[in-house]
Amino acid sequence: MLTDHLTPETVLFADRVDGWRDAIARVARPLLDSGAIRESYVTAIVDSIADGGTYIDLGFGIALAHRRPEDGVVRTALSSLRVAEPVLLNDEPAHPIDLFLCLAATDPHSHLETMSELAELLSDETLRTELLAATSAADTRAVLLKIGQNA
């Protein structure tokens, strides 16, 4: 569940970041610090984006940074970084991002499970708006706890 992964330690906020590379480094930091990923995973994400990987732009100013398990995933984990000023993903004006998520999944099942919950959250306009308005980890958790209640 998203509430298992997005905790006060993995939900980050920043007034400003120095470009998309800095945003990726910051959103990945809690996963590195906890040992959920290796540095090679962050490198693979940055390289993928630099090679035109703007496919991680989910719309609504949200990007989901991720790569394959063999790129350095140790255990399934998720983190988020909300930035006050949007960052241009891969420096492209068509991709302004103010919420970065970093997903590390060990296998297809955990990847699909997390993606399913994210899809439910982001496709619900009310929940998405509340998530993007969150200013603390507690606000974020309150939104996540509402997933599935509107079904």
Q: Which residue has the tokens 């509402």?
A: 146
Identify whether 66 is a catalytic site residue. Answer: yes
Hey, what amino acid is at 128? R
Choice among 66, 95, 109, 111 that is catalytic: 66
Closest CA to 17 of 104, 81, 95: 81
Task: Answer whether 82's CB lies under 8 Å from 97's CB.
Answer: no
Q: Which two tokens stand for residue 111?
A: 């990847």
Q: SS in 3 state form for 38-60?
A: CHHHHHHHHHHHHCCCHHHEEEC
User: Which residues, listed in sequence order, are joined to residue 81 by a DSSP beta bridge?
Assistant: 12, 100
The residue length of the chain stands at 151
> Would you please indicate which residues are annotated as catalytic (active-site) residues?
66
